[in-house]
């Protein structure tokens, strides 16, 4: 089939997620045909550095033969089986055990889903079920943050704090509340220190819990480092303050590690890097390097015990997914985690992250750059109209989208979050490849600077 035919078929029939659908009809897709390491290639043979690891997720790179072989072996032996009604298979049991070993202390029980959004939906139901089991039938509200991303299903989409994922969908639902994102550069008051900023955010959280009634607030959910909200690194002491307040009012702490987990921040889990002791942890993406759809919910044993008692009382724990704990997905995850450990990719992500962020820091003096931020092997460059005042471009996102588009012409796939440009390459990236990634970014940024200086013409 010709490339033109494929493009036409895609436009005619395929509804794309997180996409301006009319813009897609006008411009058509970039069809990615194959991948190799940190690179992907389109159907015309053009090479791109995948500086976003797909969707923050291909930790071991594209085309890893061991993952293909693991999937093939399992597909040949047992291509599918469920885990309902006390059924089990080896890959899921072994993976649950492995996750319990790797996770922060106490997270010993594991439930599998197909995606991070499903996992966070499951968390909501787990917490409601848990509180019902304890007779706390009003303790059902969740507190999330502005700019958070926890998925796009109806319940998880309510936890998300991004207008683009909620407008037009009648979200959020009434159980969800949101507090400020911990972005010091954007949200600090004039002259406010980081310590004072943390105290103010802590007071905001405590005031909300008290206003809602602690007996109604079940959990606080947050990404250790926020991803889709702009790669927001919390200030020192932020998570300690959040946990102090949550413990005071018997509010569960949920770490959404869908992006942070399995090495991205230079530790196995972001909770380790930022001093979080979660009651529940959610992971996905790099669990299989996204070679297969898989996510997991890890919970502390005391929560599990209450849930298990309730399941006996009611006759069942009536929740699950047909393809949850899929044998092929869990087999691939086991091999993926083995590769991460054997090749030292967690430590490598820390080292390459430091190198990448040092390279990006050289753009800090650029006239369009307001802030360079990041942690581990994830970073963002925020573009501004005025460095002194931090004024945003009007409209927000126009410059970021233009840079995103032009980067393709220079063989670079990044992500524009408004006017923040995110970088999250595969953990196998080398220093030389980072240098080339930054070279392609500089060329693109220089072109965008000329365009901005010309008045940002639409043509």
CATH of the domain at 337: 3.40.640.10
Find, among 99, 55, 107, 122, the residue nearest to 276 by Cα.
Answer: 107
Which alpha helices (H) appear in 256-410, and where do they start and end? 270-274, 301-314, 327-342, 345-361, 398-409
110 conformational bin, left if phi > 0, alpha if psi -120 to 50, beta if neither: beta
pLDDT band, very low/low/confident/very high, at 102 (cuts 50, 70, 90): very high
In order, the DSSP letters of 195-209 are HHHHHHHHHHHHHHH
CATH of the domain at 428: 3.90.1150.10
| pLDDT tops 60 at residue 459 | no
- Where among 302, 323, 342 does a domain terminate? 342
**Length of the chain measured in residues:** 459
Q: Please provide the DSSP assignment of 111-155 as one string.
A: EEESSHHHHHHHHHHHHHHHHHHTT-TT--EEEEETT----SSHH
- Specify the pLDDT at position 264: 98
The SS3 call for residue 440 is helix
Question: Domain check: are 338 and 348 in the same one?
Answer: no
Q: Residue 458: its pLDDT value, please?
A: 86
**83 part of a folded domain:** yes
- For residues 100 and 98, what is the distance between their CA atoms, to the nearest angstrom? 5
- Kindly provide the b/e burial profile for residues 162-172, where b requires at least 16 CB atoms within 10 angstroms of the residue's own CB: beebbeeeebb
In a domain, 5, yes or no: no
Q: Of 342, 360, 388, which marks where a domain is finished?
A: 342
Provide the pLDDT confidence category of residue 35 given band limits of 50, 70 and 90: very high
Beta carbons of 177 and 143 less than 8 angstroms apart: yes
282 shares its domain with 200: yes
What CA–CA distance (Å, rounded) separates 239 from 189?
Answer: 20
Q: What angle do CA 336, 340, 341 make, to 5 degrees?
A: 120
Q: Within this chain, do residues 76 and 145 fall inside the same structural domain, yes or no?
A: yes
Which of 245, 286, 281, 280 is closest to 59 using CA atoms? Answer: 286
Please check whether residues 40 and 115 belong to one and the same domain: no
Residue 2: per-residue pLDDT: 62
The answer to whether residue 1 scores a pLDDT higher than 90 is: no
Beta bridge partners of 299: 109, 280
Instruction: Give the pLDDT score at 434.
Output: 98
Are 226 and 94 in a shared domain? yes
Q: How far apart are CA 135 and CA 133, in angstroms?
A: 5
Tell me what the mean pLDDT of segment 217-238 comes to.
98
6 inside domain: no
Long-range contacts of 201-209 (CB under 8 A, 24+ apart): 201/238, 201/241, 202/241, 202/242, 202/244, 202/245, 204/179, 204/180, 205/143, 205/179, 205/242, 205/245, 206/245, 206/248, 206/249, 208/143, 208/177, 208/179, 209/143, 209/245, 209/249, 209/251
**Percentage of the chain modeled with pLDDT above 70:** 99
Is the same domain home to 322 and 348? no
Classify residue 3: in a domain, yes or no: no
Q: Beta strand 280-283 with 295-300: parallel, antiparallel or unpaired?
A: antiparallel
Other Cβ atoms less than 10 A from the Cβ of 196: the count is: 13
- 8 A C-beta contact, residue 280 and residue 300: yes
Specify the DSSP element, H or E, that contains 50: strand 47-50
Note the pLDDT tens digit of each residue in 379-410. Answer: 999 999 999 999 999 999 999 999 999 999 99
Does the residue 419 lie in any domain?
yes
The pLDDT-based confidence of 4 (bands split at 50, 70, 90) is confident
Report the number of distinct structural domains present in the chain.
2
User: pLDDT of 308-364, one tens digit each?
Assistant: 999 999 999 999 999 999 999 999 999 999 999 999 999 999 999 999 999 999 999
- Last residue within a domain, chosen from 325, 342, 359: 342
Q: Tell me, rounded to whole angstroms, the distance of Cα 260 from its chain centroid.
A: 7
Note the pLDDT of residue 5: 87
Percent of the chain having pLDDT more than 90? 98
Instruction: Using a cut of 0.85, tell me whether the model's pTM lies above it.
Output: yes
Residue 261 lies in a domain: yes
- Whether residue 316 sits in one domain with residue 375: no
Cis status, amide bond into 14, omega within 30 of 0 = no
- Label the pairing between strands 176-179 and 369-374: unpaired
On whether residue 22 sits in a domain, the answer given is: no
Residues 376 and 352 occupy one common structural domain? yes
Strand partners, 36: 39
Mean pLDDT computed over every residue of the chain: 97
Q: Return the number of other C-beta atoms located less than 10 Å from residue 33's C-beta.
A: 13
Residues 303 and 198 in one domain: yes
pLDDT class for 299, splitting at 50, 70, 90?
Answer: very high
Q: Report, as an integer, the average pLDDT of 71-75.
A: 98
Q: Are residues 263 and 129 in the same domain?
A: yes
- Is 26 part of a structural domain of the chain? no
In this predicted structure, the answer to whether residue 3 has a pLDDT above a threshold of 70 is no
Domain encompassing residue 335 = 66-342
Do 394 and 428 fall within a single domain? Answer: yes
Residues 165-198: pLDDT tens digits? Answer: 999 999 999 999 999 999 999 999 999 999 999 9
* pLDDT at 357 (0 to 100): 98
Same structural domain, 145 and 44: no
């Amino acid at each position: 089939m010709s490339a033109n035919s494929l493009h036409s078929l895609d436009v005619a029939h395929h509804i794309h997620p997180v996409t301006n659908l009319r813009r897609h009809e006008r411009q058509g897709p970039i069809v990615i045909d194959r991948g190799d390491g940190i690179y992907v290639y389109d159907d015309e043979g053009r090479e791109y550095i995948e500086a976003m690891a797909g969707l923050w997720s291909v930790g071991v790179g594209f085309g890893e033969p061991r993952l293909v072989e693991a999937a093939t072996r399992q597909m040949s032996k047992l291509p599918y089986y469920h885990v309902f009604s006390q059924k089990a298979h080896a890959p899921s049991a072994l993976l649950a055990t492995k996750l319990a070993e790797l996770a922060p202390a106490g997270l010993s029980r594991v439930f599998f889903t197909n995606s991070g959004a499903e996992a966070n939906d499951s968390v909501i139901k787990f917490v409601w079920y848990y509180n019902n089991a304890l007779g706390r039938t009003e303790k059902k509200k969740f507190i999330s943050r502005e700019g958070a991303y926890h998925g796009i299903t109806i319940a998880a989409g309510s936890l998300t704090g991004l207008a683009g994922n909620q407008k037009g969908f009648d979200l959020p639902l009434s159980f969800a509340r949101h507090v400020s994102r911990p972005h010091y550069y954007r949200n600090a008051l004039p002259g406010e220190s980081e310590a004072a900023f943390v105290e103010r955010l802590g007071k905001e959280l405590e005031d909300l819990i008290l206003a809602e009634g602690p007996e109604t607030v079940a959990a606080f959910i947050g990404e250790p480092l926020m991803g889709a909200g702009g790669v927001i690194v919390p200030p020192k002491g932020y998570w300690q303050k959040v946990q102090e307040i949550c413990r005071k009012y018997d509010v569960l702490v949920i770490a959404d590690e869908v992006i942070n987990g399995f090495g991205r921040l230079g530790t196995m889990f972001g909770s380790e890097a930022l001093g979080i002791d979660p009651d529940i942890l959610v992971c996905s993406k790099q669990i299989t390097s996204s070679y297969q759809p898989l996510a997991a919910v890890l919970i502390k044993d005391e929560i599990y015990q209450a849930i298990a008692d309730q399941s006996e009382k009611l006759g069942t724990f009536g929740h699950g997914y047909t393809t949850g704990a899929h044998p092929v997905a869990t087999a691939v995850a086991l091999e993926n985690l083995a590769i991460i450990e054997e090749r030292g990719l967690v430590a490598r992500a820390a080292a390459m992250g430091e190198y990448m962020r040092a390279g990006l820091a050289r753009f800090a003096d650029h006239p369009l750059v307001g802030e360079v931020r990041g942690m581990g092997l994830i970073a963002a460059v925020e573009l501004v109209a005025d460095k002194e005042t931090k004024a945003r471009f009007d409209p927000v996102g126009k410059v970021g989208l233009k840079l995103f588009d032009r980067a393709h012409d220079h063989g670079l796939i990044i992500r524009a979050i408004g006017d923040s440009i995110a970088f999250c390459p595969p953990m196998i990236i080398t220093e030389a490849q980072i240098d080339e990634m930054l070279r392609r970014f500089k060329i693109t940024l220089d072109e965008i600077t000329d365009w901005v200086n010309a008045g940002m013409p639409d043509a």
